[in-house]
Structure 1
Amino acid sequence: MSDRPRIFDDLAGVAGGAFSALAGVREEIGAMVRARVDETLGSLNLVRRDEFEVVREVATRARLAQGEMENRIARLEERVSDLEASLTNPAPHTGG
């Protein structure tokens, strides 16, 4: 005679099968949710983080270059203005 009645073995088997089935259902639901989220995100035309970082770096460099060019143009405009002023108001010649 066994220590446990057979009914407990049967219940344990049913419970184990139920847990296995629930684990499988859980995995299947997780896979469906992931697929749905991926599909939804794909339809939103989102940018990947690495692509965003590259574009941000390009924009930062462009802003720096723009500032340098604005400074250079300002210096050139000042030189042109000085040259124009010297041509219209020549300095008196103090030759000897």
Structure 2
Amino acid sequence: MSTGPNRIMDEFAKLMTDAAGAAQGVRREIETAFNAQAERWLNSMDIVKREEFEAVREMAIKARDENEALLARIEALEARLASKTK
């Protein structure tokens, strides 16, 4: 076992190592608590996930395209009907 100044330095190094380990443990606990609270907060806001948003967006684009095609078809049929009645 060391004596004198070396022993003091060894004890100090051990104390610093223990303190660093404790600080890392506290940091992990704080991060976990923060992440859990943030997740609860976001869930309470009723926010949709990106994947769900993109899926609905694609459905809306497809529906709009189909509506435009149907509108063009109705206009063409109305024009044919109008030309036959004249």
Q: Is the TM value for this pair above 0.5?
A: yes
Q: TM-score, normalised by structure 2?
A: 0.90
Q: Which residue of 1 aligns with 2:47?
A: 46
Distance 1:36 1:69 in 2: 48
Q: Which residue of 2 aligns with 1:61?
A: 62
Map residues 1-96 of structure 1 onto 2, 5 A cutoff: 2=2, 5-85=6-86
Q: Which has the higher contact order (CA 8 A, sep 6+)?
A: 2
Q: Which runs of 5+ in 1 are unaligned?
A: 86-96
1:79 deviates by: 1.1
Q: TM-score, normalised by structure 1?
A: 0.82
Q: Which runs of 5+ in 2 are unaligned?
A: none
Distance 2:68 2:2 in 1: 89
Distance 2:44 2:55 in 1: 22
AA aligned opposite 1:18? A
Distance 2:76 2:82 in 1: 10
**Cα RMSD over matched residues?**
1.6
Distance 1:42 1:69 in 2: 39
The runs of 4+ residues in structure 1 deviating greater than 3 Å are 1-4
Distance 1:2 1:70 in 2: 91
The number of equivalent residue pairs is: 85
Secondary structure, counterpart of 1:5 in structure 2: helix
1:5 deviates by: 2.4
